[in-house]
Amino acid sequence: MRKIAFWTLFLYAMYALFFAFYLFQWTDSSIPAQYKGTSADPATFLTKKELMLAEQFSGVKNFLFFLSVPYEWVIYIFVLLFGLSARFQQWAEATTKRRFMQTAIYVFWLSLLVQVVTFPLSYASYYMAKMYHISTQTFSSWMRDELIDFWVNYAIMVVIVYVLYALMQKFEKRWWIYAWLCSIPFTLFLTFIQPVFIDPLYNDFYPLKNKQLEAKILALAEKANIPAEHVFEVNMSEKTNALNAYVTGIGGNSRIVLWDTTLERLSEDEILFIMAHEMAHYVMKHIYWGIGLYIVVTFIGLLLTNRWMKRMIGRFGALCRIEKWNELASLPMFLLLISLLSFAASPAMNAISRYEEHAADKYAIELTKNKEAAISTFQQLTRSSLSQVHPPYLVKLFRYSHPTILERIISLEQK
Protein backbone atom coordinates (compact mmCIF):
# COMPACT_ATOMS: atom_id res chain seq x y z
CA MET A 1 0.00 0.00 0.00
CA ARG A 2 2.80 2.42 0.86
CA LYS A 3 4.56 1.61 -2.38
CA ILE A 4 1.46 2.28 -4.48
CA ALA A 5 0.69 5.47 -2.53
CA PHE A 6 4.28 6.73 -2.98
CA TRP A 7 4.36 6.07 -6.73
CA THR A 8 0.91 7.59 -7.19
CA LEU A 9 2.00 10.85 -5.55
CA PHE A 10 5.42 10.80 -7.26
CA LEU A 11 3.94 10.34 -10.74
CA TYR A 12 1.34 13.02 -10.11
CA ALA A 13 4.06 15.44 -8.97
CA MET A 14 6.15 14.67 -12.09
CA TYR A 15 3.09 15.12 -14.27
CA ALA A 16 2.31 18.50 -12.65
CA LEU A 17 5.95 19.58 -12.99
CA PHE A 18 5.97 18.63 -16.69
CA PHE A 19 2.90 20.72 -17.46
CA ALA A 20 4.19 23.64 -15.40
CA PHE A 21 7.33 23.77 -17.54
CA TYR A 22 5.42 22.97 -20.74
CA LEU A 23 2.86 25.76 -20.31
CA PHE A 24 5.05 28.47 -18.78
CA GLN A 25 8.54 27.79 -20.15
CA TRP A 26 8.73 25.50 -23.18
CA THR A 27 5.89 26.65 -25.42
CA ASP A 28 5.45 29.80 -27.47
CA SER A 29 1.88 30.86 -28.23
CA SER A 30 2.85 33.63 -30.65
CA ILE A 31 1.34 33.18 -34.10
CA PRO A 32 3.45 32.04 -37.09
CA ALA A 33 5.35 34.81 -38.89
CA GLN A 34 3.25 34.56 -42.07
CA TYR A 35 0.14 35.63 -40.15
CA LYS A 36 1.67 38.67 -38.47
CA GLY A 37 -0.30 41.80 -39.24
CA THR A 38 -3.35 39.88 -40.48
CA SER A 39 -6.79 39.93 -38.87
CA ALA A 40 -5.75 36.74 -37.02
CA ASP A 41 -2.87 38.52 -35.29
CA PRO A 42 -4.02 39.40 -31.75
CA ALA A 43 -1.71 42.42 -31.80
CA THR A 44 -4.06 43.99 -34.37
CA PHE A 45 -7.19 43.82 -32.22
CA LEU A 46 -5.99 43.51 -28.59
CA THR A 47 -4.11 46.09 -26.54
CA LYS A 48 -0.72 45.22 -25.03
CA LYS A 49 -2.38 44.85 -21.64
CA GLU A 50 -5.06 42.53 -23.05
CA LEU A 51 -2.36 40.44 -24.75
CA MET A 52 -0.45 40.10 -21.48
CA LEU A 53 -3.59 39.24 -19.49
CA ALA A 54 -4.68 36.69 -22.10
CA GLU A 55 -1.34 34.89 -21.88
CA GLN A 56 -1.37 34.90 -18.08
CA PHE A 57 -4.98 33.84 -17.65
CA SER A 58 -4.83 31.14 -20.35
CA GLY A 59 -1.65 29.69 -18.86
CA VAL A 60 -3.11 29.42 -15.35
CA LYS A 61 -6.49 28.16 -16.61
CA ASN A 62 -4.84 25.44 -18.71
CA PHE A 63 -2.54 24.43 -15.85
CA LEU A 64 -5.50 24.03 -13.48
CA PHE A 65 -7.24 21.88 -16.08
CA PHE A 66 -4.28 19.53 -16.45
CA LEU A 67 -3.92 19.34 -12.67
CA SER A 68 -7.57 18.55 -12.03
CA VAL A 69 -8.01 15.49 -14.27
CA PRO A 70 -5.35 13.19 -12.72
CA TYR A 71 -6.10 14.68 -9.31
CA GLU A 72 -9.42 12.86 -9.53
CA TRP A 73 -7.56 9.63 -10.27
CA VAL A 74 -5.36 10.13 -7.20
CA ILE A 75 -8.48 10.55 -5.06
CA TYR A 76 -10.01 7.28 -6.28
CA ILE A 77 -6.74 5.40 -5.76
CA PHE A 78 -6.40 6.62 -2.17
CA VAL A 79 -10.08 5.96 -1.41
CA LEU A 80 -9.42 2.35 -2.44
CA LEU A 81 -6.01 1.99 -0.79
CA PHE A 82 -7.08 3.26 2.62
CA GLY A 83 -10.23 1.15 2.67
CA LEU A 84 -12.57 4.14 2.65
CA SER A 85 -14.68 2.64 -0.11
CA ALA A 86 -15.13 -0.58 1.89
CA ARG A 87 -16.01 1.52 4.94
CA PHE A 88 -18.67 3.45 3.01
CA GLN A 89 -20.20 0.16 1.90
CA GLN A 90 -20.23 -1.14 5.48
CA TRP A 91 -22.02 2.01 6.67
CA ALA A 92 -24.61 1.66 3.92
CA GLU A 93 -25.25 -2.03 4.65
CA ALA A 94 -25.47 -1.39 8.39
CA THR A 95 -28.06 1.34 7.85
CA THR A 96 -30.55 -0.49 5.63
CA LYS A 97 -31.19 -3.78 3.85
CA ARG A 98 -32.71 -2.14 0.78
CA ARG A 99 -30.22 -2.06 -2.08
CA PHE A 100 -31.38 1.23 -3.55
CA MET A 101 -30.96 3.00 -0.21
CA GLN A 102 -27.58 1.33 0.30
CA THR A 103 -26.55 2.72 -3.10
CA ALA A 104 -27.85 6.18 -2.19
CA ILE A 105 -25.91 6.20 1.11
CA TYR A 106 -22.69 4.89 -0.44
CA VAL A 107 -22.80 7.33 -3.37
CA PHE A 108 -23.51 10.23 -1.01
CA TRP A 109 -20.40 9.62 1.10
CA LEU A 110 -18.18 9.03 -1.92
CA SER A 111 -19.55 12.10 -3.74
CA LEU A 112 -19.18 14.26 -0.63
CA LEU A 113 -15.57 13.17 -0.13
CA VAL A 114 -14.66 13.88 -3.76
CA GLN A 115 -16.46 17.25 -3.63
CA VAL A 116 -14.59 18.32 -0.49
CA VAL A 117 -11.16 17.18 -1.69
CA THR A 118 -11.54 18.77 -5.14
CA PHE A 119 -12.95 22.03 -3.73
CA PRO A 120 -9.56 23.83 -3.59
CA LEU A 121 -9.00 23.36 -7.34
CA SER A 122 -12.59 24.36 -8.12
CA TYR A 123 -12.24 27.48 -6.01
CA ALA A 124 -8.88 28.30 -7.61
CA SER A 125 -10.53 28.22 -11.05
CA TYR A 126 -13.33 30.50 -9.82
CA TYR A 127 -10.87 32.85 -8.09
CA MET A 128 -8.68 33.21 -11.19
CA ALA A 129 -11.69 33.91 -13.43
CA LYS A 130 -12.84 36.53 -10.91
CA MET A 131 -9.39 38.11 -10.62
CA TYR A 132 -9.07 38.50 -14.40
CA HIS A 133 -12.64 39.87 -14.64
CA ILE A 134 -13.94 36.96 -16.69
CA SER A 135 -16.33 35.97 -13.92
CA THR A 136 -18.74 38.49 -12.41
CA GLN A 137 -20.29 35.92 -10.10
CA THR A 138 -20.39 36.49 -6.36
CA PHE A 139 -18.99 33.78 -4.09
CA SER A 140 -22.46 32.98 -2.75
CA SER A 141 -23.83 32.59 -6.27
CA TRP A 142 -20.89 30.38 -7.24
CA MET A 143 -21.40 28.23 -4.14
CA ARG A 144 -25.09 27.92 -5.03
CA ASP A 145 -24.13 26.56 -8.45
CA GLU A 146 -21.64 24.18 -6.84
CA LEU A 147 -24.37 22.84 -4.55
CA ILE A 148 -26.80 22.45 -7.45
CA ASP A 149 -24.07 20.60 -9.36
CA PHE A 150 -23.52 18.30 -6.42
CA TRP A 151 -27.17 17.36 -5.96
CA VAL A 152 -27.96 17.03 -9.68
CA ASN A 153 -24.90 14.83 -10.24
CA TYR A 154 -25.67 12.89 -7.06
CA ALA A 155 -29.25 12.12 -8.15
CA ILE A 156 -28.11 10.99 -11.60
CA MET A 157 -25.23 8.97 -10.13
CA VAL A 158 -27.47 7.10 -7.68
CA VAL A 159 -29.70 5.89 -10.52
CA ILE A 160 -26.74 4.94 -12.73
CA VAL A 161 -24.84 3.11 -9.97
CA TYR A 162 -27.92 1.24 -8.75
CA VAL A 163 -28.74 -0.05 -12.24
CA LEU A 164 -25.08 -0.70 -13.06
CA TYR A 165 -24.36 -2.85 -10.00
CA ALA A 166 -27.69 -4.66 -10.26
CA LEU A 167 -26.60 -5.71 -13.77
CA MET A 168 -23.10 -6.62 -12.56
CA GLN A 169 -24.50 -8.91 -9.90
CA LYS A 170 -27.11 -10.55 -12.13
CA PHE A 171 -25.07 -10.88 -15.36
CA GLU A 172 -21.44 -11.21 -14.34
CA LYS A 173 -20.15 -11.87 -17.87
CA ARG A 174 -22.46 -9.76 -20.03
CA TRP A 175 -23.32 -6.92 -17.64
CA TRP A 176 -21.48 -4.36 -19.75
CA ILE A 177 -23.62 -5.11 -22.83
CA TYR A 178 -26.84 -4.61 -20.87
CA ALA A 179 -25.39 -1.49 -19.23
CA TRP A 180 -24.57 -0.11 -22.66
CA LEU A 181 -28.09 -0.85 -23.93
CA CYS A 182 -29.54 0.94 -20.89
CA SER A 183 -27.25 3.93 -21.48
CA ILE A 184 -28.80 4.68 -24.88
CA PRO A 185 -32.33 5.66 -23.76
CA PHE A 186 -30.89 7.26 -20.61
CA THR A 187 -28.58 9.50 -22.69
CA LEU A 188 -31.45 10.48 -24.99
CA PHE A 189 -33.67 11.18 -21.99
CA LEU A 190 -31.11 13.45 -20.30
CA THR A 191 -30.44 15.31 -23.57
CA PHE A 192 -34.19 15.80 -24.04
CA ILE A 193 -34.95 17.11 -20.54
CA GLN A 194 -31.80 19.20 -20.04
CA PRO A 195 -33.10 22.48 -21.61
CA VAL A 196 -36.40 22.34 -19.72
CA PHE A 197 -35.53 20.92 -16.29
CA ILE A 198 -31.75 21.08 -15.68
CA ASP A 199 -30.48 24.30 -17.30
CA PRO A 200 -33.13 26.51 -15.60
CA LEU A 201 -31.75 25.42 -12.21
CA TYR A 202 -28.70 27.58 -12.92
CA ASN A 203 -30.06 30.52 -14.94
CA ASP A 204 -33.24 32.22 -16.12
CA PHE A 205 -34.24 31.57 -19.72
CA TYR A 206 -36.79 33.64 -21.62
CA PRO A 207 -37.72 34.45 -25.24
CA LEU A 208 -35.49 37.02 -26.89
CA LYS A 209 -36.63 40.50 -25.82
CA ASN A 210 -35.46 42.27 -28.97
CA LYS A 211 -38.32 41.28 -31.29
CA GLN A 212 -36.78 42.97 -34.34
CA LEU A 213 -33.62 40.94 -33.91
CA GLU A 214 -35.68 37.81 -33.25
CA ALA A 215 -37.56 38.38 -36.51
CA LYS A 216 -34.26 38.57 -38.41
CA ILE A 217 -32.98 35.43 -36.70
CA LEU A 218 -36.20 33.55 -37.49
CA ALA A 219 -35.99 34.76 -41.09
CA LEU A 220 -32.48 33.33 -41.20
CA ALA A 221 -33.83 30.08 -39.73
CA GLU A 222 -36.54 29.95 -42.39
CA LYS A 223 -33.86 30.46 -45.05
CA ALA A 224 -32.07 27.43 -43.60
CA ASN A 225 -35.34 25.42 -43.46
CA ILE A 226 -35.34 25.28 -39.65
CA PRO A 227 -38.79 25.18 -38.01
CA ALA A 228 -37.85 27.60 -35.21
CA GLU A 229 -40.49 29.62 -33.33
CA HIS A 230 -38.41 31.27 -30.59
CA VAL A 231 -34.84 32.22 -29.78
CA PHE A 232 -34.00 32.19 -26.08
CA GLU A 233 -31.70 34.46 -24.13
CA VAL A 234 -30.19 33.71 -20.75
CA ASN A 235 -28.99 36.14 -18.07
CA MET A 236 -25.34 35.14 -17.98
CA SER A 237 -24.11 38.69 -17.26
CA GLU A 238 -24.70 37.95 -13.56
CA LYS A 239 -21.95 35.33 -13.77
CA THR A 240 -19.54 36.13 -16.59
CA ASN A 241 -18.22 38.68 -19.07
CA ALA A 242 -17.63 35.97 -21.69
CA LEU A 243 -19.76 35.62 -24.82
CA ASN A 244 -21.53 32.50 -26.05
CA ALA A 245 -24.48 30.99 -27.87
CA TYR A 246 -25.40 27.34 -28.28
CA VAL A 247 -27.89 24.72 -29.38
CA THR A 248 -29.14 22.25 -26.78
CA GLY A 249 -31.73 19.50 -26.49
CA ILE A 250 -33.33 17.26 -29.09
CA GLY A 251 -36.74 16.96 -30.69
CA GLY A 252 -39.41 19.36 -29.45
CA ASN A 253 -37.20 20.49 -26.56
CA SER A 254 -34.31 21.72 -28.73
CA ARG A 255 -33.39 25.36 -28.19
CA ILE A 256 -31.16 28.03 -29.68
CA VAL A 257 -29.83 30.11 -26.79
CA LEU A 258 -28.02 33.47 -26.73
CA TRP A 259 -26.21 34.79 -23.67
CA ASP A 260 -27.27 38.33 -22.78
CA THR A 261 -23.57 39.32 -22.81
CA THR A 262 -23.50 38.38 -26.49
CA LEU A 263 -26.54 40.57 -27.14
CA GLU A 264 -25.00 43.52 -25.29
CA ARG A 265 -21.52 43.47 -26.83
CA LEU A 266 -21.86 42.25 -30.40
CA SER A 267 -23.34 44.07 -33.36
CA GLU A 268 -26.45 42.79 -35.10
CA ASP A 269 -24.41 41.34 -37.99
CA GLU A 270 -22.12 39.53 -35.55
CA ILE A 271 -25.09 38.08 -33.69
CA LEU A 272 -26.64 36.91 -36.96
CA PHE A 273 -23.37 35.15 -37.84
CA ILE A 274 -23.35 33.37 -34.47
CA MET A 275 -26.99 32.36 -34.96
CA ALA A 276 -26.22 31.04 -38.44
CA HIS A 277 -23.37 29.03 -36.94
CA GLU A 278 -25.69 27.50 -34.32
CA MET A 279 -28.33 26.80 -36.97
CA ALA A 280 -25.70 24.89 -38.91
CA HIS A 281 -25.43 22.42 -36.03
CA TYR A 282 -29.17 21.81 -36.33
CA VAL A 283 -29.13 21.53 -40.14
CA MET A 284 -26.12 19.18 -40.11
CA LYS A 285 -27.61 17.17 -37.21
CA HIS A 286 -24.44 17.53 -35.15
CA ILE A 287 -26.34 16.93 -31.89
CA TYR A 288 -27.53 13.54 -33.16
CA TRP A 289 -24.09 12.67 -34.53
CA GLY A 290 -22.65 13.60 -31.15
CA ILE A 291 -25.09 11.35 -29.34
CA GLY A 292 -24.32 8.53 -31.76
CA LEU A 293 -20.57 8.95 -31.24
CA TYR A 294 -21.06 9.02 -27.47
CA ILE A 295 -22.99 5.73 -27.67
CA VAL A 296 -20.16 4.10 -29.68
CA VAL A 297 -17.50 5.39 -27.27
CA THR A 298 -19.57 4.17 -24.31
CA PHE A 299 -19.68 0.68 -25.82
CA ILE A 300 -15.88 0.56 -26.17
CA GLY A 301 -15.38 2.08 -22.71
CA LEU A 302 -17.61 -0.45 -20.97
CA LEU A 303 -16.00 -3.34 -22.88
CA LEU A 304 -12.50 -2.31 -21.74
CA THR A 305 -13.66 -1.49 -18.22
CA ASN A 306 -15.19 -4.96 -17.87
CA ARG A 307 -11.86 -6.58 -18.72
CA TRP A 308 -9.59 -4.33 -16.69
CA MET A 309 -11.78 -3.91 -13.64
CA LYS A 310 -11.96 -7.66 -12.94
CA ARG A 311 -8.19 -7.96 -13.29
CA MET A 312 -7.47 -4.96 -11.06
CA ILE A 313 -9.85 -6.09 -8.30
CA GLY A 314 -8.48 -9.63 -8.59
CA ARG A 315 -4.97 -8.32 -8.01
CA PHE A 316 -5.55 -5.50 -5.52
CA GLY A 317 -8.94 -6.36 -4.03
CA ALA A 318 -7.54 -7.76 -0.78
CA LEU A 319 -5.34 -4.70 -0.33
CA CYS A 320 -8.42 -2.45 -0.78
CA ARG A 321 -10.60 -4.72 1.42
CA ILE A 322 -12.88 -5.54 -1.50
CA GLU A 323 -14.06 -9.14 -1.68
CA LYS A 324 -15.87 -9.12 -5.05
CA TRP A 325 -15.37 -7.04 -8.18
CA ASN A 326 -19.13 -6.40 -8.45
CA GLU A 327 -19.80 -5.05 -4.95
CA LEU A 328 -20.39 -1.36 -4.32
CA ALA A 329 -16.94 -0.83 -2.81
CA SER A 330 -15.42 -1.34 -6.27
CA LEU A 331 -17.10 1.81 -7.63
CA PRO A 332 -13.98 4.03 -7.31
CA MET A 333 -12.12 1.52 -9.49
CA PHE A 334 -14.91 1.71 -12.09
CA LEU A 335 -14.88 5.52 -12.01
CA LEU A 336 -11.07 5.58 -12.21
CA LEU A 337 -11.04 3.43 -15.35
CA ILE A 338 -13.86 5.41 -16.98
CA SER A 339 -12.06 8.69 -16.26
CA LEU A 340 -8.77 7.35 -17.64
CA LEU A 341 -10.46 6.14 -20.82
CA SER A 342 -12.37 9.41 -21.23
CA PHE A 343 -9.15 11.41 -20.93
CA ALA A 344 -7.41 9.13 -23.43
CA ALA A 345 -10.30 9.47 -25.89
CA SER A 346 -10.63 13.25 -25.54
CA PRO A 347 -8.12 14.16 -28.31
CA ALA A 348 -10.09 12.14 -30.87
CA MET A 349 -13.45 13.43 -29.60
CA ASN A 350 -12.18 17.01 -29.68
CA ALA A 351 -10.83 16.56 -33.22
CA ILE A 352 -14.26 15.41 -34.42
CA SER A 353 -15.90 18.34 -32.64
CA ARG A 354 -13.45 20.80 -34.23
CA TYR A 355 -14.31 19.39 -37.66
CA GLU A 356 -18.02 19.97 -36.99
CA GLU A 357 -17.38 23.50 -35.73
CA HIS A 358 -15.34 24.32 -38.83
CA ALA A 359 -18.19 23.00 -41.00
CA ALA A 360 -20.64 25.18 -39.05
CA ASP A 361 -18.44 28.25 -39.64
CA LYS A 362 -18.42 27.52 -43.37
CA TYR A 363 -22.20 27.09 -43.43
CA ALA A 364 -22.71 30.35 -41.51
CA ILE A 365 -20.64 32.30 -44.03
CA GLU A 366 -22.61 30.80 -46.91
CA LEU A 367 -25.86 31.76 -45.17
CA THR A 368 -24.95 35.32 -44.08
CA LYS A 369 -22.46 36.30 -46.83
CA ASN A 370 -20.68 38.48 -44.24
CA LYS A 371 -17.05 37.50 -43.74
CA GLU A 372 -16.17 40.75 -41.95
CA ALA A 373 -18.80 40.15 -39.26
CA ALA A 374 -17.51 36.61 -38.75
CA ILE A 375 -13.91 37.77 -38.29
CA SER A 376 -14.86 40.56 -35.88
CA THR A 377 -16.99 38.05 -33.92
CA PHE A 378 -14.00 35.79 -33.32
CA GLN A 379 -11.90 38.79 -32.33
CA GLN A 380 -14.53 39.82 -29.80
CA LEU A 381 -14.74 36.28 -28.42
CA THR A 382 -10.98 36.35 -27.87
CA ARG A 383 -11.16 39.66 -26.03
CA SER A 384 -14.09 38.74 -23.81
CA SER A 385 -12.62 35.42 -22.63
CA LEU A 386 -8.91 36.40 -22.67
CA SER A 387 -8.19 33.27 -24.68
CA GLN A 388 -5.08 32.51 -26.70
CA VAL A 389 -5.36 32.83 -30.46
CA HIS A 390 -2.69 30.14 -30.99
CA PRO A 391 -2.61 27.86 -27.89
CA PRO A 392 0.08 25.21 -27.22
CA TYR A 393 -0.40 21.92 -29.06
CA LEU A 394 -1.27 19.77 -26.02
CA VAL A 395 -3.81 22.36 -24.89
CA LYS A 396 -5.50 22.24 -28.28
CA LEU A 397 -5.35 18.43 -28.29
CA PHE A 398 -6.97 17.89 -24.89
CA ARG A 399 -9.03 21.07 -24.35
CA TYR A 400 -10.22 22.53 -27.63
CA SER A 401 -13.56 21.23 -28.92
CA HIS A 402 -13.54 24.24 -31.29
CA PRO A 403 -10.84 25.24 -33.80
CA THR A 404 -8.41 27.83 -32.47
CA ILE A 405 -9.20 31.47 -33.22
CA LEU A 406 -6.15 31.52 -35.52
CA GLU A 407 -7.51 28.58 -37.52
CA ARG A 408 -11.00 30.04 -37.72
CA ILE A 409 -9.96 33.50 -38.88
CA ILE A 410 -7.36 32.24 -41.36
CA SER A 411 -9.98 29.86 -42.80
CA LEU A 412 -12.32 32.82 -43.28
CA GLU A 413 -9.61 34.96 -44.82
CA GLN A 414 -8.93 32.29 -47.43
CA LYS A 415 -12.55 32.18 -48.61
Are 360 and 280 contacting, i.e. CB atoms less than 8 angstroms apart?
yes
Are 178 and 167 contacting, i.e. CB atoms less than 8 angstroms apart?
yes
- Is residue 372 part of an annotated ligand binding site? no
Edge-to-edge order in the sheet of strand 205-207: 205-207, 232-234, 255-259, 245-248
Alpha-carbon span 359 to 281, nearest angstrom: 9
Alpha-carbon span 243 to 378, nearest angstrom: 10
- Is residue 413 part of an annotated ligand binding site? no
Alpha-carbon span 64 to 67, nearest angstrom: 5
Which among 365, 409, 384 is positioned nearest to 266, based on CA atoms?
384
Alpha-carbon span 228 to 222, nearest angstrom: 8
Length of the chain (residues): 415
- Is residue 357 part of an annotated ligand binding site? yes
Show which residues are catalytic.
278, 361
Alpha-carbon span 32 to 337, nearest angstrom: 39
Structural element, H or E, at residue 259: strand 255-259
Enumerate residues 6+ apart whose C-beta is below 8 A from 140.
none
Residues 171-198 as b or e (16 or more Cβ within 10 Å = b): eeeebbebbbeebeeeeeeebbebbeee
Which among 287, 236, 238, 239 is positioned nearest to 258, based on CA atoms?
236
Neighbours of 355 (CB within 10 A): 12
Annotated binding-site residue numbers: 277, 281, 357
As annotated, the binding site for Zn(2+) includes 277, 281, 357
